[in-house]
Copies of this chain bind each other. A is one copy, B any other.
């Protein structure tokens, strides 16, 4: 069976998996990403893991290596242009080095494009003409499938969904802009906001709990905790502003939500859709499907492997 190596190269870990052509993980492994980054060492370690993965299978027809990187990349020159979370990796022609090492085709893209492509080939965006994939985590990012293809923009910068302004008078974002969606929807912002709410109202069952995070606020909301429900309702209102703009602009078939915060979709989807109905043009909203990512935890490596399968098809 045809397969591909999918590599999710992040600031903390490098996840490596052997992925079948139907998008299933055959076997996987994780390496800590060296800090500062050491290119030669990383190639050696990756080589070892790939050999282990190969050797664990009787038949193993590997079509190529696909890599998703948290940063700005040139997928055609196969160069990592800028990866703020991985010191010492900028401007690395990773494609060249890996092709000369493995004598196999190598494809790269940024982590969110890769996730969108994974959803497009194997997940909730399968055979969808126009899909917006939004990742809700520490940051807010996204990938666009437009006219049945990954849309990268003119210099590979498309899909910065977290840095669309939803309130021009809003708080300043890390990017310098004001009122970016991320300043309302990012993990840290949710926690900060909820702590402020708890200071003003001590009725929550999370009162006094340490290490508040979105998953705890989600669990509390499911138990009917008023303050947690209010938190998700406000989150839904801000998310609706962002998504409504995208719907009015791009008129997609589907919006797919991934990342840790999307675990709470059961609690925020109802108010999200109500808000969106008020903010969108009717014909664009009617048939829209909003759904949680199917690949979730594995989206990074499956998406990375998708780069190889997508290339073979095109």
Contact = CB atoms under 8 A, between A and B. Distances in A.
Interface of A: 72, 81-82, 129-130, 144, 146-147, 149, 151-161, 163-169, 175-179, 237-238, 241, 244-246, 248-253, 278-281, 283-284, 286-287
A105 B176 CA distance: 51
Q: Give how many copies assemble into the complex.
A: 2
A279 B180 CA distance: 9
B168 A166 contact: yes
Nearest to A253: B154
A179 to B, nearest CB: 8
A284 B82 CA distance: 14
A146 B151 contact: yes
A158 B251 contact: yes
Contacts of A248: 157, 160, 163-164
Indicate the member of A155, A159, A161, A279 with the most B CB atoms within 10 Å.
A279
Nearest to A82: B283
A241 B168 contact: yes
Contact of A157 (B146, B155, B161, B281): B281
Given A153-B284, A158-B250, A250-B158, A167 B167 contact: yes
Contacts of A144: 249
A180 to B, nearest CB: 8
28 contacts: A129-B154, A130-B153, A130-B154, A147-B147, A153-B252, A154-B287, A155-B283, A155-B284, A155-B286, A157-B248, A157-B251, A157-B283, A157-B284, A158-B249, A160-B249, A160-B251, A160-B284, A164-B248, A165-B245, A167-B169, A167-B179, A168-B241, A169-B169, A175-B281, A177-B278, A177-B279, A178-B279, A246-B249
B154 A251 contact: yes
A116 to B, nearest CB: 13
Nearest to A286: B155
B250 A153 contact: yes
A249 to B, nearest CB: 6
Given A72-B283, A153-B284, A159-B249, 8 more contacts: A130-B153, A152-B251, A153-B252, A163-B245, A165-B245, A167-B168, A168-B241, A246-B249
A234 B251 CA distance: 29
A61 to B, nearest CB: 32
Nearest to A132: B249
A155 B251 CA distance: 7
Nearest to A245: B164
Contacts of A161: 249
Contacts of A153: 130, 250-252, 284
Contacts of A164: 245, 248-249
A175 B285 CA distance: 13
Contacts of A155: 251, 283-284, 286-287
Given A146-B151, A147-B146, A177-B244, A279 B165 contact: yes
